Chains A and B, each alone.
Chain A
Amino acid sequence: MAVYKRGYRPYRGPLTGRMARFLVLPRTAWRRLYQQRLVPLLTMLAFVWPLLCAGFIYLTNHATLLQGLDREFRQFIQVDASFFATFMYVQAGFAVFLAALAGPGLIAPDLANNALPLYFSRPLTRWNYGLARMTVLVGMLSIITWVPGLLLFALQAGLAGGWWLRENWTLGAGMVVGFLLWLVVLGLVSMASSAYVKWRIVAGAVSLAFFFILAGVAEMIDQVFRVRWGHVIDPAWSVNRVWCALLGVDPPRGPGAAASAAALTVIILLLVLVIERKLRPVEIVS
């Protein structure tokens, strides 16, 4: 019978499991995100650099193509930790802009439209909701960060041979861990800004400003007090310092990897606290 003829009947069939319910939010959010014009555009732009890197890897692994080049230059263009670090810096930059563009559209509309009571009146906890939104961002940013990074790593391993993989497997692992750390920070900053600012554009600007302002404040502390530890309050610097330790490249001057990791942990916990306070079905004014 046609749906418009049969009237309402309560659903009495089987129910889906917890994981299926959890994935409903990311699924619908991804669909909505990629309906925006700028998101797919920026995502495609973010693939330019990995493609260039892939070309570079191909070139370095084909000796016949390099025969005409200077020996010193040939030694300079190596696929090593510095190569992957450079790859990560560029992709991390794209990730910042993509997170600022897409992140605010995840929570801000729900808050602006007062939709949270509808979500939380169903078998969905606040943590489920936050985690689902985080999954959307981490999933979307993974496509332009560690996934192409891992593909490049696999390409290099495939072209260079097993010996290269045995000697450099830590690069691949370090890249994935490093990127995931960055994505967690980006996701939380983006969610926190959209939880407090209901207008998407402003929320995006706030999440960008978060990194620039903290970098500026860190630099000011270092200059005014003539110290180097001020950088610990700059999450981008701290993540970079952790990356250097993971990839084994020369670190910048300043606090060590352990101090930077500790600072990042504190920043992450503060961001979680900020989000937890805002993601409530009802706001209580005491």
Chain B
Amino acid sequence: MNTIPPIPPTPVVELDNLKVRLGRREILHGISCRLGASGTGKAIGLLGPNGAGKSTLILTLLGFLRPSAGHARILGLDCQHSSGEARARVGYMPENDSFIGEMSAVAFLRQMAELSGLPPDAALEKAHEVLFHVGLGEARYRELRTYSYGMKQMAKFAQAIVHGPELLILDEPTNGLDPSARARMLTLIGEMKETQGMSVLVCSHLLRDIEQVCDQAVILKDGLIVHECNLEEDRRSNRRFVELEVTGDDRHLRAALPGIGADGVPEGGGRWRIVLPAGVELEAIWGLAAQQNLLIRKLTHRRDTLEEIFLKAMGHLAQTPGDSAALEGQA
């Protein structure tokens, strides 16, 4: 009996040797990757220091910038040749202030919804609905220029979702928000992906935001992808990281760690970072330390945070033990 092979899901973002130049300067140096799967309601975080090329990548995906080489696709559509079709399925929230100050929020959202193809009546209804949803219901007839910064951020978010896009591109969505507004924004983003099934691409320099809402993270540095990680998998994994501080001669500890099924890297001054696989308990560390005549001064166990992943990708931190093992394995 013939079975139909499963159709691979369309990646949300697909880059193929993408190079982008701004003037005479090349910003993106031939990056390739496949991120997310459309319709799965996952969020991708785009991280990187200033000047890494995050905004350039977003602008290229929206078709605002023309690649000097390679291709960029969103939801399977070429960002240059099918930009109209692609943009109809995307909602974009820019980083900077973007609105029409003389318009009321409801008129502004209605216009944006109509430009995306909603009939006038449906556009008006959605404008009201979305403004209530993001918490601007009472202020929806006020001119946008009278809004506070936090309200403007919410209005920008509202215009991005008013037409029900499949992909939401958010550039620094929590910039300048107070803690409660930030929490509200992150809740809304989470809701869009989990309840509404939208794919979300978030560009932010706030690692905690990315860690909170994203399932996948891509780290850019100097126009190149330096790291890709699956945060969802990391959250689910049972890998436990142990921070250990010992006194004594710890030169043989690294060689001894595989004996208990663990792996670790020294960080100097008797400090170690050790990864314990599932099934290996902390007692094994105590036992090993006793064998090596080491005095344990500190033992804490924690998982690798996105901040550490980011700093490692930037070259400011040593490799995670598990990663180093993987690299050695590959070698």
Contacts and interface: CB of A to CB of B under 8 A. Distances in A.
Interface in B80-139: 84-85, 87-88, 90-92, 94, 96-103, 107, 111-119, 122, 125-126, 128-130, 132-133, 137
A166 interface: no
Interface centre among A7, A24, A284 (most CB of B within 10 A): A24
Q: How big is chain B's contact interface, by range?
A: 35 or more
A284 B23 contact: yes
Nearest to B145: A113
A9 B59 contact: no
B137 A14 contact: no
Nearest to B134: A8
A115 B98 contact: yes
Contacts of A10: 161, 164-165, 196, 198
A212 to B, nearest CB: 29
A282 interface: yes
Nearest to B137: A4
A118 B118 contact: no
Residue of B62, B117, B162 with most chain A CB atoms under a 10 A cut-off: B117
Interface in B53-68: 59, 62-65
B128 A3 contact: yes
B19 interface: no
A246 to B, nearest CB: 38
Given A123-B85, A286-B23, A286-B24, A114 B98 contact: yes
A8 B112 contact: no
B164 to A, nearest CB: 3
Contacts of B90: 121
A110 B133 CA distance: 26
**Interface residues on chain A, size class:** 35 or more
A117 B117 contact: no
Interface string A110-130: 101111011111111100000
Contacts of B63: 120
Contact of A125 (B84, B107, B118, B161): B84
A282 B94 CA distance: 11
Contacts of B113: 11
B94 A118 contact: yes
A32 B96 contact: no
B100 A281 contact: no
A167 to B, nearest CB: 47
Contacts of B117: 15-16, 21, 123
B137 A15 contact: no
A71 interface: no
Contacts of B112: 118, 122
Interface of A is mostly: loop
Interface string A163-187: 0000000000000000000000000
Nearest to B197: A10
Given A21-B114, A109-B100, A125-B84, A13 B129 contact: no
Nearest to A285: B23
Nearest to A8: B133
A64 interface: no
Contact of B92 (A13, A21, A121): A121
B87 A123 contact: yes
B222 to A, nearest CB: 19
B174 interface: no
Interface in B123-171: 125-126, 128-130, 132-133, 137, 159, 161-165, 169
A280 B96 CA distance: 15
Interface string B218-254: 0000000000000000000000000000000000000
A113 B126 contact: no
A282 B24 contact: no
Lowest 7 CB-CB distances: which A-B pairs, in order? A286-B23, A10-B164, A15-B117, A121-B92, A8-B133, A11-B164, A4-B132
Interface of B: 22-25, 59, 62-65, 84-85, 87-88, 90-92, 94, 96-103, 107, 111-119, 122, 125-126, 128-130, 132-133, 137, 159, 161-165, 169, 191, 196, 198
Interface of A: 3-4, 6-16, 20-21, 24-25, 28, 32, 109-110, 112-115, 117-125, 280-282, 284-286
Given A4-B128, A123-B116, A281-B62, 19 more contacts: A3-B128, A4-B132, A11-B126, A11-B162, A15-B118, A25-B111, A28-B111, A32-B102, A112-B101, A114-B97, A115-B99, A117-B92, A117-B94, A118-B99, A120-B63, A121-B94, A124-B115, A281-B59, A284-B22
14 contacts: A3-B128, A4-B137, A6-B129, A8-B129, A8-B130, A8-B191, A11-B122, A28-B111, A113-B98, A113-B99, A122-B87, A122-B112, A123-B84, A125-B84
